[in-house]
Amino acid sequence: MSVTDKDRIRALNDDLRKTLLGGGAVITAGIAELGPEAVERLVKTIAVFDDFCHANDPHEEHDFGAFEFEGVRVFFKIDYYDKTLTHHSSNPADPSVTERVITLMRADEY
């Protein structure tokens, strides 16, 4: 993967994480149980998340994050699918063949 592809993937992931545009978004049952106000705060927290490091972002794609939220360990993960959502994307740097999906979950649901 070229640096240009990596930069493009990171930018597309950041766009999805910050705006929830350019892909799908899923929350798990454990996140939903926190209630709509908590979910709204979590979405805002993910939008400003910037604690990417080699331990949680070894490929420098900004596709995973972990943080504490009101005593609950929370993860978000961005996956790359083909446009039918049945297979992995052949090229995550190309939005014409990739559907991004961000999932917000409690760590104990992983």
Report the mean per-residue pLDDT for the chain: 95
Instruction: Quick: pLDDT tens for 17-44.
Output: 999 999 999 999 999 999 999 999 999 9
Report the amino acid identity of residue 30: G
pTM of structure:
0.93
Across-strand partners of 68? 73
Q: Is 97 helix (H, G, I), strand (E, B) or coil?
A: coil
Residue 14 three-state SS: helix
Q: Which residue has the tokens 């493009």?
A: 8
Rounded to an integer, what distance in angstroms lies between the CA atom of residue 108 and that of residue 10?
A: 26
Tokens linked to 25: 């978004």
pLDDT at 3 over 80: no
Model confidence over 79-110: pLDDT tens digits?
999 999 999 999 999 999 999 999 999 999 98
Q: What does the pLDDT look like over 40-79, one tens digit per residue?
A: 999 999 999 999 998 889 999 999 999 999 999 999 999 9
Q: Domain boundaries in the chain?
A: 3-109
pLDDT at 2 over 90: no
Q: What is the pLDDT of residue 1?
A: 60
Do residues 45 and 39 make contact, with C-beta atoms less than 8 angstroms apart?
A: no
Whose CA is closest to 77, among 96, 44, 53, 100?
100
